[in-house]
Amino acid sequence: MNIDTELMKQVGAALIVALVVSFAMSPLVKSFAYKVGAIDVPRDARRMHKTPTPRLGGLAIFLGFMVSILLFLDFDSQIRGILLGAVIIVVLGVVDDITPLPAWLKFIVQIVAAYIASHHDVVIRIISNPNIFSQEPYWNLGSLSLPVTILWIVAVTNSVNLIDGLDGLANGVSTISALTMLVISLLVSDGQVAVVMAALVGACVGFMPYNMNPAKMFMGDTGATFLGFILATFSVQGLFKSYAIISFVVPFLILGLPIFDTTFAFVRRIAHGQNPMSPDRSHVHHRLIDMGLNQKQAVATLYVISGILGLSAVVLTTSGEIKAMLFLIATVVVGAVAVRVIFPHRHADAHAEEEKGQKEEDTK
């Protein structure tokens, strides 16, 4: 499949500009965070850092992204609607990072932002039928289009926010998701979405040196909700819109890790009789830490999982369902074998130490 050379140049320029601006703005945003008191102080077991750390890093990502698309993107009504909603999300995030807001208020504002985007025709109207045995290839959502779209946008926005529990995790997973959407957009010649995703990738990578373990700055709700909102709305604008080319499954593969983690968290809390919105320490990244991995190993593991899902989405787009399914199954099997090979050594070592101690006791 031929890709337009001019589009590739525009995509590359958008990525580089966003990266440079995001990286350059990060130290300024860090100083601003200290001045306004946007500091994350570790007060409970859920937080993995040990020292007070400035948040608001998402502001650097937002600035890098905005400068880039202002230079390289032609705005239409849909883009304006998405950006207006994104600005609302960022303002909400900045306020929340400085002075924590109640969950219900944030939820209402997120719904308003999602509605604004939907009002500008960013709407899921038709999706491919997930039932491969059905004679109907597509579902027309009809009157359900608006509520389904708002639910999708709000859910993905919060999903990315909920995985922001380790240094560099949400930023890296969002980068992988945006990169996957960028590749698919290039393959289907959707220049508008490709430029936006290039700007998002660049902005995330520019902030990465400040966010990797040990993090000098967190992106905070400002960054996590902004990334989730942009990924959600442009998956509607790009992936769901291209229903004749893109399968229903593709957006869920691209955003699979945060969606799974959020769904699992909600089901677990409801099953235990807890408020589904109440925070806890049982997310996927917490479980990896409890298995004995350090932060860098846990983040790398989740990067690999997100990358596998992204590659599966690309294979599905280019080669069809069967090859994508075989690819996903093969990588899952290889991953499972690797886990069985690597992690039992921890238990074996512990068991060996226990036996050694017992022998020493017996010889006394």
Stretch 304-327: mean pLDDT: 76
Nearest 5 degrees, angle CA 193-CA 198-CA 199?
100
CA distance 305 to 331: 9
The amino acid sitting at 318 is: T
How would you class 9 by CB atoms within 10 Å of its CB: exposed for 0-12, middle for 13-18, buried for 19 or more?
Answer: exposed
- Which of 156, 149, 198, 194 shows the shortest CA–CA distance to 175? 198
For residue 318, tell me if it sits in a domain.
no
Nearest 5 degrees, angle CA 87-CA 92-CA 96?
145
For residue 363, tell me if it sits in a domain.
no
For residue 52, tell me if it sits in a domain.
yes
Residue 1 in this model has a pLDDT that exceeds 90:
no
Query: Residue 140: its pLDDT value, please?
Result: 79
Among the residue ranges 25-34, 88-97, 142-151, 280-289, the one predicted with the least confidence is: 280-289
**Confidence bin at 351 (pLDDT 50/70/90):** very low
Check residue 142 and report its DSSP letter: G
Which is higher by pLDDT, 279 or 78? 78
The amino acid sitting at 174 is: S
Query: Residue 17: its pLDDT value, please?
Result: 97
Query: Residue 363: its pLDDT value, please?
Result: 52
Residue 77 in this model has a pLDDT that exceeds 50:
yes
Give 218-267 as a DSSP string: --HHHHHHHHHHHHHHHIIIIIITTTTTS-THHHHHHTHHHHHHHHHHHH
For residue 133, tell me if it sits in a domain.
yes
Q: Tell me the average pLDDT of the chain.
A: 81
E-strand stretches of 1-106: 39-40, 53-54
For residue 335, tell me if it sits in a domain.
no
As beta bridge partners, residue 128 has 138
Residue 243 in this model has a pLDDT that exceeds 60:
no
Stretch 143-157: mean pLDDT: 91
For residue 320, tell me if it sits in a domain.
no
CA distance 311 to 358: 49
Token pair belonging to 208: 């990465």
As beta bridge partners, residue 54 has 39
Query: Residue 164: its pLDDT value, please?
Result: 80
Query: Residue 157: its pLDDT value, please?
Result: 93
Query: Residue 152: its pLDDT value, please?
Result: 92
Q: How many other β-carbons are positioned within 10 Å of the β-carbon of residue 108?
A: 12
Q: Is the dihedral of CA 86, 89, 91, 97 positive or negative?
A: negative
Give 175-186 as a DSSP string: HHHHHHHHHHHH
For residue 281, tell me if it sits in a domain.
no
Give pLDDT tens digits for 190-219. Answer: 888 999 999 999 999 999 999 988 888 999
Write out the residue range of the structural domain in which residue 119 sits.
Answer: 5-249
Query: Residue 341: its pLDDT value, please?
Result: 47
Query: Residue 259: its pLDDT value, please?
Result: 82
For residue 212, tell me if it sits in a domain.
yes
CA distance 247 to 241: 11
Token pair belonging to 177: 């998701």
Residue that the structure tokens 């790398």 belong to:
300
Query: Residue 322: its pLDDT value, please?
Result: 64
**Confidence bin at 350 (pLDDT 50/70/90):** very low
Contacts of 305 (CB under 8 A, 6+ apart): 257, 335
Phi and psi, residue 159, nearest 5°: -65, -45
Percentage above 90 pLDDT, the chain: 38
Q: What is the total count of domains within the chain?
A: 1
Give pLDDT tens digits for 119-140. Answer: 998 888 877 766 656 667 677 7
Q: Is the dihedral of CA 228, 234, 237, 240 positive or negative?
A: negative
CA distance 126 to 145: 8
Rama region for 101: left / alpha / beta (φ>0; ψ in -120 to 50; rest): beta
Contacts of 202 (CB under 8 A, 6+ apart): 14, 15, 16, 17, 18, 19, 20, 22, 64, 65, 68
**Confidence bin at 85 (pLDDT 50/70/90):** very high
**Confidence bin at 346 (pLDDT 50/70/90):** very low
**Confidence bin at 323 (pLDDT 50/70/90):** low
Query: Residue 291: its pLDDT value, please?
Result: 72
